[in-house]
Amino acid sequence: MGKNKLFNPFSSEFHQNPYATYDKLREEDPIHWSFLHAWVITRYEDVDKILKDNRFQVDDLPMRLEGKNIYLQGGDLSTLATTIDKWLFFQKVPDHTRLRGLVSKVFSPHAVEIMEEKIKKTVNELLDKVIDTGKIDLIKDLASPLPAITVTQILGLPLEDYDNLIRWSYDLFFVFDQPMSLEGYQRQNEIAIETRNYLLDFMAKIENSPQYEGLISQLMKAKNEHNQLTEDEILGFCIMLLIVGQETTKSFIGNGMLALLQQPEKFEELKNKPHIIKEAVEELLRYDTPVQVIARIAQEDVVIKGKNIKKGDKVILCLGAANRDSEKFFQPDILNFERVNYNLPFGGGIHFCLGVFLARLQGQIAIKILLERLPHLQLATEKLDWRESITLRGLKSLPLTFLSP
Ligand code: HEM
């Protein structure tokens, strides 16, 4: 295999288990020039430093999408480009500071704490639906609807619409996966149109009805009364939250429970010591990190460990690899609820995850209640169905059985 093919995130082996590739890269070529024409960075120290280094800025995907229009016959990616252009992931200072400031309160530790009872209720109600059957598809029955319901509640959207929101968010998250075919982008453009139309209808409905609560109505007030943001920004922002709020947490709960089921002594340990749930959740996030990679673009020539990264080069920061770096973590391939963990699963620098408290809380509640109510859970398949994504490591389904009470 050519050295620049060491990292092939399209292969099914990689989706099954990226960690063998990461081990090799960290060892043999930690600043690796890939056939994807991007630098692949796998050591904790380098990933962490680049995240906090202003010489590396967010990806310019929205602009590149507009540029792709000329290759399309009769197609158009403008709606997708306009939508993602407003996402915090692609914003630079000062727009980033302004937009993040408008919503940061909604995701503060205090605001999230208030949601605790609602999240517990949702988890219990979802489990009530399957408890008498003795089986559960952890993804379809819990990990997917839980964050979908939570984000629906935060935005103030009608709860009965959450099935559509699940469908749209699954497909739209792939926009982070690059490179992608033009057909793929066209499909996402169609979904962006569908989602925007849904939100526009909802916004028209609540425009003159002050009784509606939720983030959408707050953002509309900020637009109408204080001119703080535009309609495009509201739409882009809400679609961003719908997507990242769901897909990341879904993967996290799925990956975390899978790790516990594959290491039954750890499942037992947590079942017997539910008070360590916070530490356990941090370790599960490290062990099988949901957001495996994030991208940055060098703003000037930079030399890292003798490698010349040129202005305009893309770097792919492998959070999943950094979180298994033995220079940082003792015996990284082993789950250990007592180790000191860091926040790298949630990124770093100014783009550090906005939903970190919400994500943690949902994970802690879901896993704790699962172990309490279904203490004899077992894997019901040997074949794991991973989604074909470069960015997100998550299962499409996870069939389990248990002894019903
Ligand atoms: C376990 C679940 C989650 C993980 C692992 C995760 C991970 C991440 C990571 C790695 C980033 C940094 C991206 C970058 O630097 O390019 C990020 C940013 C972000 N996350 Fe999360 N996330 C999770 C849950 C959530 C939730 C529940 C929400 C909201 C409801 C959310 C909203 C965001 C937003 C808006 C950003 C962009 C922040 C910015 O650019 O300023 N995330 N997340």
One-letter-per-residue 3-state SS of 111-173: HHHCCHHHHHHHHHHHHHCCCCCCEEEHHHHHHCHHHHHHHHHHHCCCHHHHHHHHHHHHHHH
Residue 222: give the domain boundaries.
3-401
H or E segment to which residue 220 belongs: helix 215-224
CATH code of the domain covering residue 363: 1.10.630.10
- How distant, in Å, are the alpha carbons of 150, 201, 319 from that of 393? 21, 33, 11
DSSP 1-57: --GGGS--TTSHHHHH-THHHHHHHHHH-SEEEETTTEEEE--HHHHHHHHT-TTEE
Which one, of 289, 287, 286, 278, lies nearest residue 363 by Cα? 278
In tens digits, the chain (405 residues) has pLDDT values of 556 678 888 888 899 999 999 999 999 999 999 998 999 999 999 999 999 999 999 988 888 887 777 666 666 888 999 999 889 999 999 989 998 998 899 999 999 999 999 999 999 999 999 999 999 999 999 999 999 999 999 999 999 998 999 999 998 988 888 778 888 888 999 999 999 999 999 999 998 887 888 999 999 988 888 888 899 999 999 999 999 999 999 999 999 999 999 999 999 999 999 999 999 999 999 999 999 999 999 999 999 999 999 999 999 999 999 999 999 999 999 999 999 999 999 999 999 999 999 999 999 999 999 999 999 999 999 999 999 888 999 999 999 999 876
Reported pTM: 0.95
The residues facing 298 across adjacent strands are 56
Alpha carbons 246 and 359: distance in angstroms, whole number: 9
Distance 284 CA to ligand 1 centre (A): 17
Ligand 1 centroid to Cα of residue 267, in Å, is: 27
CB 352 within 8 A of CB 251: no
Instruction: Give yes or no for residue 392 CB within 6 A of ligand 1.
Output: no
Closest C-alpha to ligand 1, atom 25: 355
Number of domains making up the chain: 1
Query: Residue 248: CB within 6 Å of ligand 1?
Result: yes
Strand partners, 32: 40
CA geometry: angle 253, 107, 42, nearest 5 deg: 55
Q: Which is nearest to 321 in space by CA: 31, 1, 13, 58?
A: 31
DSSP 185: H
245 Cβ closer than 6 Å to some ligand 1 atom: yes
The residue nearest atom 19 of ligand 1, judged by CA position, is 353
Strand partners, 294: 317
